[in-house]
Structure 1
Amino acid sequence: MQLTKIRCRYYAAAAGVLLSMSSINVSAQTGNQAWVTDELSTYVRSGPTDGYRIIGTLNAGEQVDVLETSGNYTRVRNSEGNAVWVLSDELQQTPSAIEQLPALEQQVEELTAELDGINDAWEERVSSMTETLEVRERRIAELEASNQELDSQSERSRQQVRALQARLETQEEDLLMRYFMYGGGVAGAGLLVGLIVPHLPRRRKKRDRWF
């Protein structure tokens, strides 16, 4: 009985020493926030050592308010308002993926909408460029067809000019031949007259006699 009392006093004294030492290492961190790591859900205890009993769990990615730190444990307040102790290594200073997911989804939606707008603008621009290109191609085709028609008309005109020139040359040759023939006929007739006239008998003139 006496030994039991001594042991109880010893344990009480040791607990007092441990509590006093832990109180020296405790640093108040009120107003800070932390998040449970995304990899796992963690157990929480009623005190800052492994010797304290487990009183619940914190979900992975859950946001908590940091109250104080003692050794390897941190005292936090969960979403239900309960103050519990959790291993400091199982907390992180950046928002969890679960917390960031809505913001990331919003950013994805905004980027998707922006990309859709860029895509629509680009498609409209490409469509406009395609229409402009088609108009230019049609205009080029029309000009080429018109050019071919003008070439055909020019060739027909050249052929007509050559035909007229050939006809004119033929008419000039015919006219020149006629002139030659007419001139030759006149010259021949004159020559013939010149040859015949000297051989014609001359008429004698009668002399008038007064007595």
Structure 2
Amino acid sequence: MLVNRIRYRNYAAAAGILLSVTSFNATAQSANQAWVTDELSTYVRSGPTDGYRIIGTLNAGEQVEVLETSGDYTRVRNSDGNAVWVLSNELQETPSAVEQLPALEAQVEELTAELDGINEAWEQRVSSMTETLEVRERRIAELEASNQELDSQAEQSRQQVRGLQARLETQEEDLLMRYFMYGGGVAGAGLLVGLIVPHLPRRRKKRDRWF
């Protein structure tokens, strides 16, 4: 469905934004800050070599202030304000996962809320488009039904016209036949009169006599 594809695309975009924000946060840290690696708690010494005694530990993910580097060791200041030496490879330049987690969770929650708003807007828009499409489809169906009805009425009218034309032609033929019969009757009567009249006895004319 279109809405689901949009939702997946938005989530992918959110993941990209989240990674970008994380990278930006990492590069934006001050150069004199570092964090103990997340994998372990590390021992700290009083000097920059293995020969110095261990004086304590730093917790995994703990933030420290970098003071100086000497050989394989880095001198840092912990959260208690103590300056100690720790192996440089046990420090990292990006915040620990423990510290990043609350900020990342807040960012994820914010992005999720934003995406939900975007998805809701898209769903409303798609719903509106669907309703508009349904209205148009109903209108098209109504017009098609009306067109079919008009075609049916037109066909009925054509049939009526053909019937009237047939009746008119029949009446014309009947009238013409009557004219022929009437003319034939008149001609026959005239012929009959012409045959009979010569055979009728003629009346003699009276002659006037003078005495």
How high is the TM-score relative to the length of structure 2?
A: 0.76
Alpha-carbon distance between aligned partners in 2 of 1:145 and 1:61, rounded to the nearest angstrom: 74
Could you say which residue in structure 1 is the equivalent of 2:86?
Answer: 86
Distance 1:37 1:43 in 2: 12
Shift of 1:36: 0.7
Q: Distance in 2 between matches of 1:44 and 1:84?
A: 6
CA distance in 2, matches of 1:144, 1:98: 67
RMSD: 2.1
Secondary structure at 1:84 match in 2: strand
What is the CA distance between 1:197 and its match in structure 2?
A: 1.4
> Which runs of 5 or more structure 1 residues have no equivalent in the other structure?
1-30
Residues 162-201 of structure 1 correspond to what in structure 2 (within 5 A)?
162-201=162-201
| Alignment partner of 1:60 is 2:56 | no
Structure 2: distance between partners of 1:71 and 1:131: 72
Please, which runs of 5 or more residues in structure 2 have no aligned partner? 1-30
Following the alignment from structure 2 to structure 1, what is the Cα–Cα distance between the partners of residues 110 and 45?
Answer: 43
SS at match of 1:57: strand
TM-score (norm 1): 0.76
Displacement of 1:125 in angstroms is 2.6
**Rg: which structure is higher?**
1
Within-5 A mapping of 1:129-168:
129-168=129-168
How many residue pairs end up in the alignment? 181
Show the 5 A alignment for 1:25-36.
32-36=32-36
Q: Which amino acid in 2 is paired with 1:178?
A: R
SS at 1:108's partner residue? Answer: helix
TM-superposed CA distance for 1:210, in Å, is: 5.4
Structure 1 counterpart of 2:20: none
Instruction: Note the C-alpha offset of 1:117.
Output: 2.9
Paired letter, 2:40: L
Shift of residue 150 of structure 1? 1.4
Q: Which residue number in structure 2 is paired with residue 44 of structure 1?
A: 44
- Which gives a bigger RCO, structure 1 or 2 (Cα 8 Å, sep 6+)? 2
- Identity of counterpart residues, as a percentage? 93
Is residue 97 of structure 1 aligned with residue 97 of structure 2?
A: yes
Compute the displacement of 1:97 (Å): 2.2
What are the Cα deviations for residues 140-185 of structure 1, in whole angstroms up to 9, with x where unaligned? 2112211211121111111111111111111111111111111111
Provide the C-alpha distance between the structure 2 equivalents of 1:124 and 1:203, rounded to a whole number of angstroms: 119
